[in-house]
Structure 1
Amino acid sequence: MPHSGAFDPALLKKLPKSYLEEDLGHRLIIFASVFLVLQTLLITLFYIGRYLNKTLNGLECWLFMPIGYIFSTAVCILGFFIVKRGGAGRHVEAVLLSDPGMISTRAKIDKAVEYIYILAITGSKLAILCLYLRIFRSRSYRLATYSVAALVGLNWLAGFLLSCTICQPCTFQWDKSIPGGHCGEIMQAYLYISVPNILTDILMLILPLPAIYRLHIDLTAKIGLFATFLMGSSGLIASILRLVTFVHAGNLFKDPTYRCIPTYTYTIAESGTHLIAASMPTLRPLKRHLFPQHSFTKFLDSVLIRISGKESASYSFSWLKQTGAQSSDKKSTGFEEHELRSASTTKLNDVSCLGNADQQSQAPSSKRSQEFV
């Protein structure tokens, strides 16, 4: 590949025409468009579902989800601008020949993305953690959730301060002609912020798993619960892929306008996937309104029955209705009945009490039960 450091116009014009005309920008535009539509659709369904179940309340509805959506949308829109105004997708030599000013424009857009991206994923993650707080009754689980939320907030603060201070003055990041200006290792800074970001994704993934594992419920119900909470960390893959692009920053610097496409694609995917993940669990009520006869866990149960060749691949705990007064002797799981019904199968309607050992055994209020059912 021709070296991007040769900026002599006479030399650049000697490059192969096919090389100068190569453009991957359309891929980013298509990808950003798809996520823009998905995000808008899912958050609309999120609010419709909450409205139908009269649970349109809480910080996740009026603060964190709007933050996640607004800034995830901004990341997608900047994806259009970085292609049209920043030359993303074309080789740097072709950009220098057509409009050298695009190089600084792309750097300005990159700077804007630094601030917007971290806000997008922070809002969506905090919305997911609010869901955890709604269903975790155990004090230890709630403290763990608050701790993860604090880490998410600190990661945002660190990212914000790092973006503000990585270059002095800030404008030196796109204007290298400023006398006395300097920048730190920008790619190293991206790496340092990405690692705790991935760590919080992992913590959000494993946080509910021990409680689910200890539940005395049927296999399909457990799988349904696992699947529900796995949605909350589905952005982990995009986070890791984005981190890999920073590890190979040397290749990125060789041709920044051309090689930035994967990095920006993963940035859109990460912010958008976190928002979609925050929307998905509360769509179950809407699904039951529209498709009351369809259930993932019923389908899964039928598959397990065929595989095992048994009458039933699970077992019921309806006897808990008669032994609700003794449920305080059970091992605490941090879940109540409405928590299970909201995240799993209709078989869990037979469960009357799976609350904390330190709480009185009682049926949950219908209002809270409806939130995720």
Structure 2
Amino acid sequence: MSWTYNTPEGTPNDGPKLTAIATVFTVLSFLILVLRFYVRGVMIKAIGTDDYVLVITWIAACGFAVITILQSKWGLGLKFVEDMPLENIYNFGLLQYMGAPFYITSILGFKLSLLLSYLRFMTAGAVRTATIVVAVLCCLFHLSFLLVQLNLCQPVAKQWDPAIMDGQCIVAVPFYTSMASLTIVFDVAVMLLPFPVLLKSQIQARKKLVLLGLFALGVFITIIQIIRIQTIRNLANYLDSSGLIMWSTVENNLGIMVASVPTLAPLFKSFAEKSRSGYYKNTSDQAKAGSKYGMHSWRDGDGGSRSGVHNGSQSHSNKVSGGRTKGGLSPEDSQERIWAVGSSTITKKTDIIISRELRGGRGSDST
């Protein structure tokens, strides 16, 4: 059975690859998002607006992935335009139109989440003002992008219905190239905004490098945008959009991951502390086990020498008189039941050492 509807078996198709990429990246971003909410909601109990924005972002990214998979069943991924069944064009175009709002919302969402998270440590100054300005401009740009995208053709239905012959459409390639170029500008601005604050902050150099490295991961998203521009320039027909959509799926999910990774620091710290405490606990238990029991020698009441295993965790300092302890117990009474199973009993016997006290320099019985 062919992957794409209404096509014969063996038709060259990248639909399965597009489906696999969309599924894998969407699942990975979801797992990272769950870890983020575990840290923010359970460990530090400080869920903020940036967290909720990222939830909306993931929903949009997931919606885009679902539409990508459905679109592949109607022709996305076919390698040759002549293999595209005419009866598939309507649904193919409609799904592509539906996917645009999900994509634009998702690429705006992770930028906005990062900008909101910056405001936590940018409490005042020019950098905070710049962050707010970039956030406003970013929202306005993506909103205009969405409005133009939804109205590329007049009438609007001309974008997915080939039967409509009247009307006109904006030339897609220059529009997409311009939007992708401006998106790169905002990507770079968002990633560079925290650098001045981090470089001047008093945190440890190691942590500073880690944070800078995490934010620098956003550079990869910019690289993806550059690849998308190259893909846009090579668009010759509607099937050529498969590469563009594939990289768009990677971009929005990777953006969610990059926005979430810095918030996972408490989780990594907790894991490292538990690993260290577990190591020290095991080492301490081994040391205690080695010192708890040792071979000791003592003298019995007859002056003879005896040896045995002494429980180092117990001390017997009771003075005895007349063969009995001060508590009124005889040596035979000094037995403790420590474990019983059914009718059998395991006991521990403690030997009581009878000592003589010296009075006036002479040895005499204490009785």
TM-score when normalising by structure 2: 0.68
Distance 2:33 2:215 in 1: 18
Q: Deviations for 1:208-248, whole angstroms, at most 9, x for unmatched residues?
A: 22233344666434322311322455422222211221122
- 2:22–2:69 Cα contact (<8 Å) kept: yes
Residue 164 of structure 2: SS of its match in structure 1?
Answer: coil
Q: Which residue of 1 aligns with 2:69?
A: 80
Seq. identity, %: 26
Q: Which residue of 2 aligns with 1:211?
A: 197
Q: Which ranges of structure 2 fall in alignment gaps of 5 or more residues? A: 1-6, 277-367
Code of the residue aligned with 1:50 in structure 2: it is R
Q: What are the equivalent positions in structure 2 for 1:24-43 lying under 5 Å apart?
A: 24-43=14-33
Distance 1:217 1:278 in 2: 20
Q: Deviations for 1:52-84, whole angstroms, at most 9, x for unmatched residues?
A: 23344321123x112101000011111211111
- 1:108–1:174 Cα contact (<8 Å) kept: yes
Residue 196 of structure 2: SS of its match in structure 1?
Answer: helix
Code of the residue aligned with 1:24 in structure 2: it is D
Q: Residue 129 in 1 paired to residue 115 in 2?
A: yes
Q: Residue 183 in 1 paired to residue 169 in 2?
A: yes
Distance 2:243 2:143 in 1: 26
Q: Which residue of 1 aligns with 2:262?
A: 281
Distance 1:127 1:120 in 2: 11
Code of the residue aligned with 1:58 in structure 2: it is G
Q: Deviations for 1:183-222, whole angstroms, at most 9, x for unmatched residues?
A: 1112222122212211110001211222333446664343
Code of the residue aligned with 1:202 in structure 2: it is V
Code of the residue aligned with 1:105 in structure 2: it is N
Code of the residue aligned with 2:62 in structure 1: it is T
Q: Which residue of 1 aligns with 2:179?
A: 193
Give 1 or 2 for the bigger CA radius of gyration: 2
Distance 1:277 1:55 in 2: 21
Code of the residue aligned with 1:161 in structure 2: it is L
Q: CA RMSD in A?
A: 2.4
Distance 1:114 1:43 in 2: 23
- 1:105–1:174 Cα contact (<8 Å) kept: yes
Q: Deviations for 1:352-371, whole angstroms, at most 9, x for unmatched residues?
A: xxxxxxxxxxxxxxxxxxxx
- 2:41–2:47 Cα contact (<8 Å) kept: no
- 1:52–1:286 Cα contact (<8 Å) kept: no
Q: Which residue of 2 aligns with 1:225?
A: 211
Are residues 113 and 151 of structure 1, via their aligned partners in 2, closer, same or farther at CA, if it must alter by over 3 Å?
same
Q: Which residue of 2 aligns with 1:319?
A: none
- 1:233–1:277 Cα contact (<8 Å) kept: no
Distance 2:76 2:208 in 1: 49
| Alpha-carbon offset, residue 280 of structure 1 | 1.0
- 2:37–2:47 Cα contact (<8 Å) kept: no
Distance 1:215 1:60 in 2: 22
Code of the residue aligned with 1:92 in structure 2: it is V
Residue 89 of structure 1: SS of its match in structure 2?
Answer: coil
Q: Which residue of 2 aligns with 1:367?
A: none
Q: Deviations for 1:150-205, whole angstroms, at most 9, x for unmatched residues?
A: 12101211112102321001110111322422111122221222122111100012
